[in-house]
Every structure is written in C-alpha cells, then in structure tokens.
Structure 1
Amino acid sequence: MSYIRFQDLHGSAHLNGPERPHLYNLIHEHARRTLFDCQDAGARAYTLFDLLPQDHELREVRLGGQVSPHRWLGVYARTLQTSIFDDPIVDYRGHQVRPLTLLLNTAMDSGTEPLRLAARLMGQCEINTWVDGPNRRWLAGVITQGLASGDFRADCGWHDVQRLLLARDDHPVVVSWSDSFPSYWNTALHTPDGKLLDGEEAEQLWETMPAAEQWAHGLRALKDRSAELLEMTPDWAGYRFGSTVSLGDLLATDHIRRLDRAFELAG
C-alpha cells in the first residue's frame, strides 16, 4: 500500500502505508454506526433499498421474512466497504452515488475533525490536497485530536507530519501519495514565447530547474485548480465530495427534498 506524503519546499514527512487502509476503515466504521444509530431503522432500510440501482446485487436480498431490516442494514454496510469497483449504490431519478463518495461525505457531514481529515486524505491525497501556511498549526491540532482519541496510530508517522506542519507557517504543505510533489506532468510549462511544451520537452526543461523553481511552478498550477476545492481550511465542516450526498441525507425523513436539492431537481 502506498504511503501518504506531506511536503513543503523545505522538507517532507509521510504516513506509513498501513495507515491508509486504517483511515479507510475509520471512515467505514463511522458510516456503519450512522446506519445503526438512526431512528426507525426499519423504515430507513426500505428507503435505502428503494434507492438502489435496479441491477444492484443487494436487490436480491429481499427485505421481510427471514431478512430483518437490521440484518439488511448490516449487509448494506458491508457492501459499502467491499465494493471493489465502486459501483453506484444510489440511483435517484438517473443520478447516481458511489459507495466511496457516500462514505467520504458521511465522514464530512457527521464525523469528528480527525475523521474529516481522514476523508480528505482518502479522497484527495492522490490529487494533491493541501493546506496553506497560516493553517498549518490548525491542521497539526487536528492530528493532536486524532492521536488523543486513538483514531490515528502514533507509530505510523503522524508525529513526523506534525513536526513538519509546525516548523513554519509561511509555505503551503501539499499532500501526495508515494511520488513527491511537484512533477512536470501536472505542471504546464511554456517556452519564453508562450508555447506549451509537450511531454518530452517539458521533462527536459523540468530536469534543468532548481528545486525552488519546480516548487513554484507546481504550486502555481495547483492553485490554478481552485475549482477542484483541494485546499483544506478550518471551515471544512460543510465540505462535500461529488454529489454531496451523505448517509445522513439518505436516512433523513426529508431525504427526497435533500436528494432533489443535491441534484438540483427541485422546483
């Protein structure tokens, strides 16, 4: 399993490979608790069943008779974790939600601050989520909470990440997976007259640049991707991935209104 790397211009730290599936398990366990802590689990199980895509294998596990709502919710929870190809688990009026997106949004919706960090890392470590210099201390504090609660495992590199975050506050820290940031293939490089360089030309130019210049190009390209909402900030409680739908939305008594709003179908 690839590790998760935190990096600024001056140094780096990483979470060991085993911590990545551990973070995923934390997110899934929170979703499982959300399923079983909801009021009127029976009615909610029928709601989730009705929202399944027509060809989903869970439709073969018919509610009623020997399959109680509680038992069916257990199967649903396992499906959220074991869906290898992330096949959609919600289909509402032609709009679909995939299990991983549902798990990540559930953690962002009702999870603790450490669970929200786990969700951002699981959802965006491979596309370079990042934290700006003035917010580095805040993110280090979230890690402190995670270590204190036992959600984050101390022997997996979290203390090294904290030291990196607290070392300074004048540079962003960028997250990646195994490969370091930045790289020429996600940084648009141009000739002096403005021509965009192709892969081979870009690589050759990249290799001649000092590290500080590479970092400047990479960070500029990352900040230009503002529409992807990759920056982690203290006001992230309202942050959502993709469809924005969480289990809290699906289990709510007004789930139809929430789905209409999420998919802009109301009115």
Structure 2
Amino acid sequence: MSRVYFRSPTRTAELRGSERAWLGSLVNDIAIGVLDLRDLSRVERLRQLIHPDHYMAKRPTEGHGWLNDWASIYATAFAVGWDRSAPLIQYHGKQIDQFSLALNTAALLGSDQIKLAARLHGACEIHTWVDGPNRAWLADILQAGLDGGVYRRGIHYAAEPDHGRPEPLWVPQGWEDVVALLRERDDEPVVTSYSVTDSFPNSGVGDWMPPWPDAVPRDWNALNEQQKRERGERQDAWYDLDAGERWRISMGGLRASSDGLELKPDNWHTFRFTHELTILDLVAHDWEERLQRALIDETPAEG
C-alpha cells in the first residue's frame, strides 16, 4: 500500500495512499462538474480545443444519445488521458495540461480543505512543504477537514474472519498523526514525499549533485560513461553524510526553489500550477484572450 509521508527532522507521519487517491477524486470531481459536459455550448467550446488527431475529435456528435456518450468518454479522457502529440486540450499548438487545469480549478473554487487537497495531490511527490511557524496554521486546516468530513479518518475494508462471515475492518487513514506531528513544534519544517517516488531528503534536491551537463538530455542513458561514473560516485557519497547534513542540503534546495512548493498563508488563495489556467478560463466569454495571455504572450509561471 502506498503512503504519503510527512517528514520532519524529528519524526515522520504517514497518510495512506488510499487517501491520496481520495484527494485526487475530490479534485477531479470538481473539475468534471465545472466542465458541465451536458451543456451543448460548453461541449462546442471544448471541441474547438481538441487536437484534430485526438480520438475525441472523431467522436460522433449526432444521432440519438450522442451527448451522453460523448460526455462520458470526454470525462474519462480528461481524467486519465495524456498525449503530447495529440492533446485533448490545446490552443494554437500549445498543450493545456488537464491535470493542472483540475488542480487550479479546485484551488480557485474550493475551501481551504479543497485547496490543500489540490496542493497535496499535485505536489506531494515533489516535496511540497510547510515551514515551522506555519505548521499550526496547516494543522488547523487539516483538523477542519477531518471534522467536516472532507478528509476521511478511516475507511472500512471487507475482511473474511475464520467463521466465514464478512465483517468490516476499520483502517485509519493517518490524518490524526499528521495533525499531531504538525502541532508538536514550530521550529522544524515538514516535507512531503510519496512512497513510489523519491524520499526526502534526497541527493537530487539541493546542490549536492553537480549540475546536469549542458546540451545533454535529462536522461541517464544520454550521459557518457565518465559522466555516469562521476554522478554515480557522488550519489553514493550522499549516504555517507549524517542525517542532519542531508536535511540541511535538501532543505536549502527547497527554500531556494522558485517552484512554489511551500504551503503558506501568503499566497494560499493565489497559488496556481504550471499554466495557471482553470476550466473557467476555457468557458469564459473572453476565453481566447485568456489563453493567448497564458500560453503565447507570456511564459507561464512554474508551480
């Protein structure tokens, strides 16, 4: 079972991977609702933005029941589809990542608890984090989410006991320990990681590894043998450092980053991912101007 880890230099709390999936479903359900795929005017707008080689561009739009069929398949493509050569949503050849669209829509329209769901679902594996003085603020948001039922204290799994009669097995999701961790102190950061990707701290965050060679694709197989050997030796040396030094190096990298990974009150209501667009931008009366500004006139902010 996967986990989202909340790590401090002192200790770690674990959130079950099923809860990360729940956060993703909240974000996606909001996005699908705002798309309003039973509205013909919305569908016509979305069809204008489909790459002509994407399979949704070839779906029939006539005959009995076509709209329900089209909406169902589009919703699935929005949630799981990814094709750079023929994107589901694009404007003048620029792909509009639907994952960021969903995250940004939830961040714009949602409560603090939904905003946090979007931030964790969108960036837990790349180490979104909260600084010590803001830990209590974040704990308050989490606690309100638990009290209101936005986050789940636990879920029932079907269990088969010895006597053969199914009985539910209650499994805590881990939020209570995350809240407890956040409230324990205010002088250490707490950093997230995901169990199926890199842990934290790690040698790739901070200035421990040398810069990637110029003009070389960021692919291990693109390196020559000497470059592979040098980087491998440097990575191995990471594990000779004590835990405190590894934390110092990786936290230095996070603090210096411009990726917007810190969870903080200052930009809580304005933070957006990648292109910064929401679904509301796609359906606005001035949608072309909005997409032009975000994708063509300016370089989108990284998030």
Superposed CA deviations along residues 21-80 of structure 1, whole A, max 9, x for unmatched, are 1111111111122123x9x92212110111111111111223344356566444322322
- Matched residue, 1:29: 29
- Matched residue, 1:128: 127
Deviation at 1:264, TM superposition (A): 4.0
Equivalent residues of 1:80, 1:103 under 8 A apart: no
Superposed CA deviations along residues 185-221 of structure 1, whole A, max 9, x for unmatched, are 4343389xxxxx9434434543333222221111112
**Residues 1:85 and 1:7: Cα distance change in structure 2 (over 3 Å):** farther
Amino acid across the alignment from 1:10: T
Equivalent residues of 2:60, 2:66 under 8 A apart: no
Q: How many angstroms apart in 1 are the aligned matches of 2:121 and 2:190?
A: 17
Q: TM-score, normalising length from structure 1? A: 0.86
Runs of 4+ in 1 over 4 A off after TM superposition: 67-71, 84-87
Amino acid across the alignment from 1:180: S
Q: How many angstroms apart in 1 are the aligned matches of 2:55 and 2:209?
A: 50
Equivalent residues of 2:101, 2:278 under 8 A apart: yes
Equivalent residues of 2:205, 2:249 under 8 A apart: no
- Matched residue, 1:214: 246
Q: How many angstroms apart in 2 are the aligned matches of 1:88 and 1:109?
A: 24
SS of alignment partner, residue 43 of structure 2: helix
- Matched residue, 1:188: 207
Q: Identity percentage over the alignment?
A: 36
Comparing 63-72 with 129-138, greater Cα deviation is found at 63-72
Q: How many angstroms apart in 2 are the aligned matches of 1:145 and 1:181?
A: 27
Superposed CA deviations along residues 159-205 of structure 1, whole A, max 9, x for unmatched, are 111011111111111111125310224343389xxxxx943443454
**Residues 1:140 and 1:258: Cα distance change in structure 2 (over 3 Å):** same
Q: How many angstroms apart in 2 are the aligned matches of 1:139 and 1:102?
A: 24
In the alignment, structure 1 segments of 5+ residues that lack a partner are 192-196
Instruction: Point out the structure with the larger helix share.
Output: 1
Amino acid across the alignment from 2:54: H
Q: How many angstroms apart in 1 are the aligned matches of 2:206 and 2:5?
A: 19
**Residues 1:219 and 1:109: Cα distance change in structure 2 (over 3 Å):** same
Equivalent residues of 2:129, 2:189 under 8 A apart: yes
Comparing 202-211 with 156-165, greater Cα deviation is found at 202-211
- Matched residue, 1:194: none
- Matched residue, 2:18: 18
| Pick aligned residue for 1:230 from 244, 261, 264 | 261
**Residues 1:255 and 1:211: Cα distance change in structure 2 (over 3 Å):** same
- Matched residue, 2:49: 51
Deviation at 1:253, TM superposition (A): 1.8
SS of alignment partner, residue 6 of structure 1: strand
**Residues 1:85 and 1:159: Cα distance change in structure 2 (over 3 Å):** farther
**Residues 1:70 and 1:109: Cα distance change in structure 2 (over 3 Å):** farther
Q: TM-score, normalising length from structure 2? A: 0.77
Superposed CA deviations along residues 201-247 of structure 1, whole A, max 9, x for unmatched, are 4345433332222211111122222x211111123222111111111
Equivalent residues of 1:46, 1:63 under 8 A apart: no
Question: Does 2:289 match 1:257?
Answer: yes
Equivalent residues of 2:203, 2:209 under 8 A apart: no
**Residues 1:85 and 1:15: Cα distance change in structure 2 (over 3 Å):** farther
Q: Which has the larger radius of gyration?
A: 2
Amino acid across the alignment from 1:77: A
Q: How many angstroms apart in 2 are the aligned matches of 1:134 and 1:169?
A: 5
RMSD: 2.5
Amino acid across the alignment from 2:106: A
- Matched residue, 2:162: none
In the alignment, structure 2 segments of 5+ residues that lack a partner are 154-171, 211-228, 299-303
Deviation at 1:119, TM superposition (A): 1.3
Amino acid across the alignment from 1:57: Y
Higher relative contact order (CA 8 A, sep 6+): 1
